[in-house]
Chains A and B, each alone.
Chain A
Amino acid sequence: MEVLPAVGGAVEDLERPDFEEREDQVLSEGEKVFETIFERDPGGAAPRLYRPVPPMSRSEHHLFRYFLDGSFRSYFLGTVLENERESPVHFAQVGACVLRREDDGSVRRETLRIENILLAGKQRLSEAIWGKLERLASQAGVHLLDLTESDIVSGVLADLDLRNKAAGKVRFAMHKLEAEAITEILPQLSEECWLVVDGSLLFEPALAQLGRGDHLKPVVGVAKNFRKDPQFVFGRGPRAERYSIYGMLAKLQAEHRTAAFSMRGGKVVFWYVRLREQTLLDYPLMGVVKVELANHSQEPVPSELIDKISRALVAERSVTPYGQDRRWHAHLYPIFLAERAVKESLLSREAVQQFLKWR
Chain B
Amino acid sequence: MSQERPVIGLSSATASEPNTSDSFCFWLAPGIIVNPFDIVEAEQVAPQGTSRTFGIVTILDHTTDAPTHLSNFISNDFGQVQSEPNTARQGTTVAHVVVLSNDQDIYMPVMNDRPVRFADEAGIHTALGIDQVPERYRVPAGLIEMSNGTRAVVYLDSRYILGPEGAHVNITGISGLATKTSYAIFLIQSILQKAENRDRIGVIILNVKHGDLLTIDQPPRARLSPEEHELWEALGLMPQPFSNVRYLLPYGKDTQTTGRPNSFRIPERNWFLYAYSLQDTYDKLDLLLSNIPDPWDTVGALIGEIHQGLSDPRTGQWGPRGRWQSVTDWNTLLNGEPLVREGQAQPVGDVRAVSVGRFRRLLRRIVQTRQTGIFVSQRPRDVKNLSQEIAKIRGGETVVVDIARLADEEQTLVFGDILRTIYALYAEEGGESENLPEKVIIFVDELNKYAPAREKESPIIEQVLDIAERGRSLGVVLLGAEQFMSAVHERVVGNCSTMVIGRSGSAELSSPAYRFLDPAVKANVSRLQKGELVVSHATFRQPVKIRFPRPAYLQEGTGNS
Most buried by B among A59, A318, A340: A318
Beta-carbon contact of A319 and B87 below 8 Å: yes
Most buried by B among A316, A319, A323, A337: A319
Q: Shortest distance in angstroms between A57's beta carbon and chain B's nearest beta carbon?
A: 6
Beta-carbon contact of B88 and A318 below 8 Å: no
Q: Name the contact of A318 in the complex, choosing from B65, B66, B67, B83 (C-beta under 8 A).
A: B83
| A residues in contact with B74, CB < 8 Å | 320, 322, 328
Beta-carbon contact of A318 and B77 below 8 Å: yes
- Complex: how many Å from CA A325 to CA B70? 14
Beta-carbon contact of B89 and A319 below 8 Å: yes
Which of A5-13, A82-90, A100-108, A160-168 participates in binding chain B? Answer: A100-108
Beta-carbon contact of A106 and B30 below 8 Å: yes
Closest residue of B by beta carbon distance from A329: B74
- Complex: how many Å from CA A334 to CA B74? 16
- Complex: how many Å from CA A107 to CA B68? 22
Flag whether B240 is at the interface (Cβ < 8 A): no
CB 8 Å contact bits of A333-359 with B (1 = contact, 0 = none): 110010010000000000000000000
CB 8 Å contact bits of B196-221 with A (1 = contact, 0 = none): 00000000000000000000000000
Q: Shortest distance in angstroms between A337's beta carbon and chain B's nearest beta carbon?
A: 6
Flag whether B225 is at the interface (Cβ < 8 A): no
Q: Shortest distance in angstroms between B241's beta carbon and chain A's nearest beta carbon?
A: 54
| A residues in contact with B434, CB < 8 Å | none
| B residues in contact with A106, CB < 8 Å | 30, 88
Beta-carbon contact of B67 and A324 below 8 Å: yes
Most buried by A among B68, B70, B89: B89
Beta-carbon contact of A322 and B87 below 8 Å: no
| B residues in contact with A277, CB < 8 Å | 78
Q: Name the contact of B85 in the complex, choosing from A319, A322, A323, A337 (C-beta under 8 A).
A: A319
Closest residue of B by beta carbon distance from A312: B86
Closest residue of A by beta carbon distance from B67: A323
Flag whether B75 is at the interface (Cβ < 8 A): yes
| A residues in contact with B87, CB < 8 Å | 58, 101, 105, 107, 316, 319, 333-334, 337
Beta-carbon contact of A318 and B76 below 8 Å: yes
Beta-carbon contact of B71 and A59 below 8 Å: no
| B residues in contact with A317, CB < 8 Å | 77
- Complex: how many Å from CA A37 to CA B85? 33
- Complex: how many Å from CA A323 to CA B75? 11
- Interface residue ranges of B51-86 to A (CB < 8 Å): 65-68, 70-71, 74-78, 83-86
- Complex: how many Å from CA A320 to CA B86? 10
Q: Shortest distance in angstroms between B14's beta carbon and chain A's nearest beta carbon?
A: 12
Beta-carbon contact of A105 and B86 below 8 Å: yes
| A residues in contact with B66, CB < 8 Å | 322-323
| A residues in contact with B76, CB < 8 Å | 318
Closest residue of B by beta carbon distance from A67: B87
Beta-carbon contact of A322 and B90 below 8 Å: no
CB 8 Å contact bits of A255-279 with B (1 = contact, 0 = none): 0000000000000000000001100
Beta-carbon contact of B71 and A58 below 8 Å: no
Beta-carbon contact of A315 and B88 below 8 Å: no
Beta-carbon contact of B88 and A105 below 8 Å: yes
B interface residue count range (under 10 / 10 to 19 / 20 to 34 / 35 or more):
20 to 34
CB 8 Å contact bits of A121-161 with B (1 = contact, 0 = none): 00000000000000000000000000000000000000000
Q: Shortest distance in angstroms between B74's beta carbon and chain A's nearest beta carbon?
A: 5
Interface residues of A, dominant DSSP: loop
- Interface residue ranges of A279-333 to B (CB < 8 Å): 280, 315-324, 328, 333
Beta-carbon contact of A105 and B67 below 8 Å: no
Beta-carbon contact of B68 and A58 below 8 Å: no
Beta-carbon contact of B84 and A318 below 8 Å: yes
- Complex: how many Å from CA A337 to CA B87? 10
Beta-carbon contact of A316 and B86 below 8 Å: yes
Question: With A106-B30, A280-B78, A317-B77 in contact, is A322–B86 under 8 Å at CB?
Answer: no
Q: Name the contact of B71 in the complex, choosing from A276, A320, A340 (C-beta under 8 A).
A: A320
Closest residue of B by beta carbon distance from A334: B87
Beta-carbon contact of B85 and A318 below 8 Å: yes
Q: Shortest distance in angstroms between B310's beta carbon and chain A's nearest beta carbon?
A: 84
Most buried by B among A59, A101, A322: A322
Most buried by B among A101, A277, A320, A328: A320
- Complex: how many Å from CA A341 to CA B65? 13
Beta-carbon contact of A323 and B71 below 8 Å: yes
| A residues in contact with B68, CB < 8 Å | 323
- Complex: how many Å from CA A106 to CA B71? 18
| B residues in contact with A322, CB < 8 Å | 66, 70-71, 74-75
Beta-carbon contact of A337 and B75 below 8 Å: no
Q: Shortest distance in angstroms between B151's beta carbon and chain A's nearest beta carbon?
A: 32
- Interface residue ranges of A53-78 to B (CB < 8 Å): 57-59
Closest residue of B by beta carbon distance from A315: B86
Q: Shortest distance in angstroms between B15's beta carbon and chain A's nearest beta carbon?
A: 10
Closest residue of A by beta carbon distance from B65: A324
- Complex: how many Å from CA A57 to CA B84? 8
Beta-carbon contact of B70 and A58 below 8 Å: no
- Complex: how many Å from CA A343 to CA B551? 59
| A residues in contact with B88, CB < 8 Å | 104-107, 319
Closest residue of A by beta carbon distance from B90: A337
Q: Name the contact of B86 in the complex, choosing from A276, A319, A323 (C-beta under 8 A).
A: A319
Closest residue of B by beta carbon distance from A320: B75
Closest residue of B by beta carbon distance from A324: B67
Beta-carbon contact of B86 and A57 below 8 Å: yes
- Complex: how many Å from CA A345 to CA B78? 32
- Complex: how many Å from CA A306 to CA B76? 25
Closest residue of B by beta carbon distance from A58: B86
| B residues in contact with A105, CB < 8 Å | 85-88
- Complex: how many Å from CA A317 to CA B86? 8
- Complex: how many Å from CA A57 to CA B87? 10
| A residues in contact with B71, CB < 8 Å | 320-324
| B residues in contact with A315, CB < 8 Å | 86
| B residues in contact with A107, CB < 8 Å | 87-88, 90
| B residues in contact with A320, CB < 8 Å | 71, 74-75
- Complex: how many Å from CA A101 to CA B89? 12
Given contacts A106-B88, A322-B70, A333-B86, could you give 11 more A-B pairs where the C-beta distance is less than 8 Å?
A101-B87, A106-B30, A107-B87, A315-B86, A316-B86, A318-B86, A320-B74, A322-B66, A323-B67, A323-B71, A337-B87
* A interface list, Cβ under 8 A from B: 57-59, 101, 104-107, 276-277, 280, 315-324, 328, 333-334, 337, 340
Q: What 6 A-B pairs come out closest when comparing CB atoms?
A: A323-B67, A105-B88, A319-B75, A322-B71, A323-B71, A322-B74
Can you list 21 A-B pairs, Cβ within 8 angstroms, ordered by A?
A57-B86, A104-B88, A105-B86, A107-B88, A107-B90, A280-B78, A315-B86, A316-B86, A317-B77, A318-B75, A318-B77, A319-B86, A319-B88, A320-B74, A323-B71, A324-B71, A333-B86, A333-B87, A333-B89, A334-B87, A337-B90
